[in-house]
Every structure is written in C-alpha cells, then in structure tokens.
Structure 1
Amino acid sequence: MTAVRLAALPHRHVLTLPNQPAAVRLARETAEQALAEWGIGPRHPAVDPALLILGELVTNSVRHAATRSPQVTVIYTAGRDCLAFAVHDRHPYQPPLIGASSGGLATVMELTHELGGTAVVRADADQQGKSIWITLPL
C-alpha cells in the first residue's frame, strides 16, 4: 500500500512518548484502545500479531535509538480492509528488513509476511531519523 493510500485511511491516531521502556506498554495499550474504537475487536486474527509486531518495533527503538532520539512516535491508521502503523525515532540508522535472521526484526518480518502484510523503512527528509511502516490486511 502506498503512502498516498495510507494517508487516505479513515482512522488515524498519533502517540508520542518518551523513548523509554514504558513506551512499549503504552503503545500497545493505545493500539488496543484505538482498534476497539475503530471496530476492530481483540478477537480479530490480525490484532494479537499486530500488537506483537508493534511491541517489537517500539522495543527496538527503546534499545537502539533512545540515546539519539528522546522520543518515539507511533502512528496508527486503519480502514475497512487494512491496518497500518509506523514507529518513528530520530536515530539515522535504517535497519535492513530483508534478511533479518534473528531477534525482534526477524519476528516482525516473519509475522508480517505470514499475515500477507508489508514492511518498509522510510527515512526522514533530513536522513536523521526513520519510520518503520507495517501494513496488514484485515
């Protein structure tokens, strides 16, 4: 799904938190609340894997980017047949998603592909930060 189509999804929520361990729990709780408000219940088959993927991405930001990025931002968006979210920090390193063989990113990629979704890293315009976008079919 292209960025233009993601921007057109009817539901959107943005959460910015201090880039510290509590951000993982808060990002997941916020996702659960937003999804429920948008009519995507906790029993939907994409919800648990989406929450796991989100938790892994925020954990990676806390572990690897917090020294250069005091905040982490999560963008949640959804439509009738699509759920997408991004985790953004201001660390310039862009991890390779293809070929991730172990750890959190390998889990993210495995779950994303199993669900028929996509994952992409997008650099900030100034190349000093990035967002990792996950798109999952509903």
Structure 2
Amino acid sequence: DKAQRVLEVVRRTLLTPVGVRSLAATDPAYEGTAGEQGLRAVSLDRGAAWPCLAALYFDALIRVHGESAKAEAWRWLDEFAPRLADGTLASIPAAFEGDAPHRPLGEMASARAVAEVLRLATRLGRRPGRSVRPDQRA
C-alpha cells in the first residue's frame, strides 16, 4: 500500500541514526555537512537530520505495521541515546548534519527535539538510554 511504500523510502533515503533528513543524500541540492559557519542555516533545509522528525516517522511506522514496528524504534532510540551526553546536559540539538559523524546544528538544546524523542520513548514504554527494555526484565 502507499503508506508502506512511503515509509520504506523514508527509511532507505532519509532516516539516520540521529533523525530524519530534510533532503535525500541523492538530491543535487543536498548538503551533508554544514561547512563554514555561514552555511549552517542553508544546511538545515538541505539535508540536516532532525530528531523530532524521527519520532513522527516511528509513529507512522507503528501505525502502519503495528506493534512489530516498535523493534525498529527501539533500535533507533538505543543508537540515539548516547547523543544525550554529547555536550549538553541531557538535551538534544535541533538538528544534526545529515552525514556522519552527524555533528550538531542549530540550537544546541531544542525543546521540540527533546519533547519528540521523550514522547517516542514514552510510547515505547521506556527512557532513552535504558539498557533493559521493560519486556526483558527478569
């Protein structure tokens, strides 16, 4: 169905370990790194990865694929969790570079990014960075 195809394209071309890119890396206008300080604003719309969009992607994935899709969301959160200790006290930048190593861009502490990542974690029944899922506790 159409929703499944759209989600597959997002997963394959836009999803990164730190968020969903604003533009696919294959697009000629894509800028995977911020480069000079003056290019940061341009990069935000040309391929930056946004954590808040990842939460929305996983909402859609769970809506379309059901509970089985939660495993992918868990994996993303587990990979993202170390970013909570990257330079800001348990906060999340608004965006990251689209290319590895995914350096932070924009606001260093974004309420929107924090809220969306925490909302996703709550939906999954956990806190980011927790080593044991609730369903795996002894």
TM-score, shorter chain, exceeding 0.5:
no
TM-score (norm 2): 0.30
Whose radius of gyration is greater, 1 or 2? 2
Q: Which one has a larger percent strand, Structure 1 or Structure 2?
A: 1
Q: Normalised by the size of structure 1, how large is the TM-score? A: 0.30
